[in-house]
Chains A and B, each alone.
Chain A
Amino acid sequence: MITSLPKLLSATVITLKLLSLSLFFGLFIGLLFAILRLNKNIFVNKFAYGYSYVFRGTPLLVQIFIIYFGLGQIEYFRSTFLWVVFKEPYWCAIIAFALNTGAYTSEILRSAFQTIKPGIIEAGKSLGISNKVIFYKIQIPVAIRQSLPAYGNEIILMMKGTSLASTVTLMDLTGVAKYIISTTFKPIEVFIVAGGIYLFMTFIIHNLIKFLEKKYSFN
């Protein structure tokens, strides 16, 4: 149990890398699609809706399998320049995670945009601030603050979701735990240690979000 700890901890680094990169790309995707969702153009709007509908409506495991094993089956796809990226399990996992968390983030941000009190925007307008500046300096910051509690949840869900990286050959925390079990045949002890590490990461993320919520509180 103790001897497996260093191996598990170094695997945690991979888990954290996967998580941070997915969240980084996911946040951009989420913001982009939230803005598209608010667009008046019906095609743009429906496209953004379709994206979030598909990625929220299918299991992450299915998505990662389609992106890793599915795309690899298409001969034409393997001849394109995209294969350089999709050949690597690491990038396939990050693409799948980022698209998945992006879909949830877009919904979180959209609802945050829609719940912004019209008074705040009107106040900006009455001061003669342009629509563009109102959007960047008022709407986006307020929306991000509004969405913090929900987004904190999404980070924790995504962190647990990274355990699926082990299904596409990546040796993340879960992957290494399974590997240790396959050589020691002691599942309970190893999974408890791995579970403890996940729980500790949740603890950190939870408190970080709580701190940010307090810091940017309206009161």
Chain B
Amino acid sequence: MMNIFKKTILTVIVSFLLIGSAYAGKIKIGTEGAYPPWNSKDASGKLIGFEVELAWTLCRYIGQQCEIVEQDWDGMIPALIMRKFDAIMAGMSITAERQKAISFSQGYADEVASLAVMKGSSLEGMETSEGINLTTKTGAVKKDLKTLTGALAGKTVCVQTATIHQNFLESGDVGKVNVRTYKTQDEVNLDLAAGRCDAALAAAVAFSDYAEKSGKPVVLVGPTFSGGAFGNGVGVGIRKDDTDLLNAFNKAIDKARKNGDISRIAIKWFGFDASM
């Protein structure tokens, strides 16, 4: 009797080890699945979006099997560090602050941020330029920031937590605004539509995607933002000690760019070429 018991245990242990080793060659990629069109889920719960499709393409170039794992945005970097997965592809912009904790591949896509309000808001018709790059604060940029500071004073601006958008609002560039943070972009959109937010800040495509799908009168206002606190494009996040994987991703991105894969997938999901 005891013998059978021992044998069963041993079989279970051995089979676990075998399963473990079979999976060892897989690259696990973490994504949020809640930031369309970068990454999201379809009605059946399957992960879709620009980065999901790009991830499969990059894995093909790397020549290794991949698995895409879902992870809440606010725990993304800790989960990478704690080896729940090996790479992040979640619309994560390359910023100096994040680079203290993890490495980034070269950027594969870039896309501007924008403020959004509901139609009829007093913030509509703000007089600014089309877009500003915060890397060099020229006179024109300073003028726009001043206009924004005046318009947003005392207003509640909603953002997803731990994003470049939150960092920008808290940087003081637009004075003291009342920043309200949410776990997901979906929740930001819901509260913007409900009138709890005077404005919201996120990737411009996140708002146009929401306006299109929900039919809500969400409009973009003010200039589009890039550079500075908004980082240098979106790249693959990888653990600092994982240089082999970093090189593999950099090479794969080179190939995908040269073959036009990134542009093709970007146009499919964004409606324009956001590749870089």
- Would you list 30 pairs from A and B whose C-beta atoms are within 8 A, ordered by A residue? A69-B187, A69-B191, A69-B194, A72-B191, A72-B194, A72-B195, A72-B196, A73-B193, A87-B195, A87-B196, A89-B180, A89-B196, A167-B183, A169-B158, A169-B180, A169-B181, A169-B182, A171-B181, A178-B161, A179-B161, A179-B162, A181-B74, A181-B78, A182-B74, A183-B97, A185-B77, A185-B78, A185-B81, A186-B78, A187-B78
| Residue B140 interfacial (CB < 8 Å) | no
Whether B101 contacts A185 by the Cβ 8 Å rule is: yes
Contact A182 B161 (CB under 8 A): yes
Question: Is the pair B190, A73 in contact by a Cβ cutoff of 8 Å?
Answer: yes
A-B interface, 10 closest residue pairs, ranked by CB to CB distance from nearest: A182-B162, A72-B194, A185-B101, A187-B78, A185-B77, A169-B180, A182-B74, A185-B78, A69-B190, A178-B74
Residue among A89, A179, A182, A183 having the largest count of chain B Cβ atoms under 10 Å: A182
- Size range of the chain A interface in the assembly: 10 to 19
Q: How far is the CA of A183 from the CA of B182 in the complex (A)?
A: 15
A181→B190 CA distance, assembly (Å): 25
Instruction: Give me the interface of A with B, judged by CB distance under 8 Å.
Output: 69, 72-73, 78, 87, 89, 167, 169, 171, 178-179, 181-183, 185-187
Chain B residues within an 8 Å CB radius of A167? 183
Bound-state CA distance A72–B162 (Å) is 24
Query: Which has the most chain A C-beta neighbours within 10 Å: B75, B81, B181, B196?
Result: B196
Q: Is the beta-carbon distance between B75 and A183 smaller than 8 angstroms?
A: no
Task: For the complex, give the distance between the alpha carbons of A89 and B180 in Å.
Answer: 10
Contact with A along B92-134 (1 / 0, CB 8 A): 0000010001000000000000000000000000000000000
Decide: A183 near B162, CB < 8 A? Known: A72-B191, A87-B196.
yes
Q: How far is the CA of A171 from the CA of B182 in the complex (A)?
A: 11
Residues of chain B within 8 A (CB-CB) of A78 are: 194-195
* Nearest A residue to B158, CB-CB: A169
Q: What chain B residues lie within 8 Å of A187 (beta carbons)?
A: 75, 78
Q: What is the CA–CA distance of A187 and B84 in the complex, to the nearest angstrom?
A: 14
Contact with A along B215-237 (1 / 0, CB 8 A): 00000000000000000000000
Report the separation of the CA atoms of residues A78 and B195 in the bound assembly, to the nearest whole angstrom.
9
Which of A73, A87, A185 counts the most chain B CB atoms within 10 A?
A: A185
In the docked arrangement, what's the CA distance between A187 and B183, Å?
Answer: 16
Task: Return A190 CB to nearest CB of chain B, in Å.
Answer: 10
Measured between beta carbons, the chain B residues less than 8 angstroms from A169 are 158, 180-182, 191
- List residues of B (57-96) whose CB comes within 8 Å of A's CBs: 74-75, 77-78, 81
* B81 surroundings in chain A (CB, below 8 A): 185
Closest Cβ neighbor of B79 among chain A residues: A187
**Cβ–Cβ contact B74 & A73, under 8 A:** no
A183 to B190, CA, bound (A): 25
Within the complex, the shortest CB–CB distance from A29 to chain B, in Å, comes to 25
Contacts A72-B195, A73-B194, A87-B195 known; 16 new A-B pairs at CB < 8 A = A69-B194, A72-B190, A72-B196, A73-B190, A87-B196, A89-B196, A169-B181, A179-B162, A179-B181, A182-B161, A182-B162, A183-B97, A185-B81, A185-B101, A186-B78, A187-B75
Measured between C-beta atoms, what is the minimum distance from A126 to chain B in Å?
A: 59
Nearest B residue to A69 via CB reads B190
A169 to B187, CA, bound (A): 10
Residues of B within 8 A of A87 (CB): 195-196
Q: Please, which residues of chain B bring their CB within 8 A of the CB of A171?
A: 181
Chain B neighbourhood of A179, CB < 8 A? 161-162, 181
Alpha-carbon distance between A87 and B77 when the two chains are bound, in angstroms:
32
Closest residue of chain B to A65 (Cβ to Cβ) is B187
A-contact 0/1 string along B180-212, CB 8 Å cutoff: 111100010011011110000000000000000
